Amino acid sequence: MNRVGTLTFANLIAVTTALVANAVVAQDGPSAEAQANNPLAAFKTFNLHNQYTGDLTGIDGDANSLILRGAFPVTAFGGDWLIRYTMPINNNVPNVMGGSTSGLGDFNVFAAYLIDTGNPNLSFGLGPQLTAPTATEDATGSGKWSGGLANMLFNTATPGFQWGYLLTWQASFAGSDSRADANAGAFQPLLIKQLDKGWYLRSTAIWTYDFETDSYNIPVGLGAGRVVKTDKAVINYFIEPQLSVASRGNGQPEWGVFAGINFQFPK
Residues in the chain: 267
CA separation (Å) from 85 to 67, 96, 106, 109, 230? 10, 29, 11, 4, 25
Q: Is the Cβ–Cβ distance between 40 and 82 less than 8 Å? A: yes
Structure confidence at residue 7 (pLDDT): 45
C-alpha to C-alpha distance for 58 and 81, rounded to whole angstroms: 41
Give this prediction's pTM: 0.85
Structure confidence at residue 219 (pLDDT): 98
Indicate the Cα dihedral angle 83, 89, 95, 101, nearest 10°. Answer: 160
Q: Which of 141, 80, 78 is nearest to 106 (CA)?
A: 141
Structure confidence at residue 99 (pLDDT): 66
Instruction: Name the H helices within 37-77.
Output: none
Structure confidence at residue 33 (pLDDT): 83
- CATH class of the domain comprising 3-265: mainly beta
Structure confidence at residue 18 (pLDDT): 46
Residues 6+ apart with CB under 8 A from 145: 130, 131, 132, 133, 172, 173, 174, 175
Structure confidence at residue 61 (pLDDT): 79
Q: What is the residue extent of each domain of the chain?
A: 3-265
Instruction: Name the H helices within the chain.
Output: 3-22, 30-36
Q: What is the pLDDT along the chain (267 residues), one digit of tens a residue?
A: 444 444 454 554 444 444 433 433 333 333 688 889 999 999 999 999 999 999 889 888 788 999 999 999 999 999 999 999 999 999 877 655 556 788 999 999 999 999 999 998 999 999 999 999 999 988 889 999 999 999 999 999 888 899 999 999 999 999 999 999 999 999 999 999 999 899 999 999 999 999 999 999 999 999 999 999 999 999 999 999 999 999 999 989 999 999 999 999 987
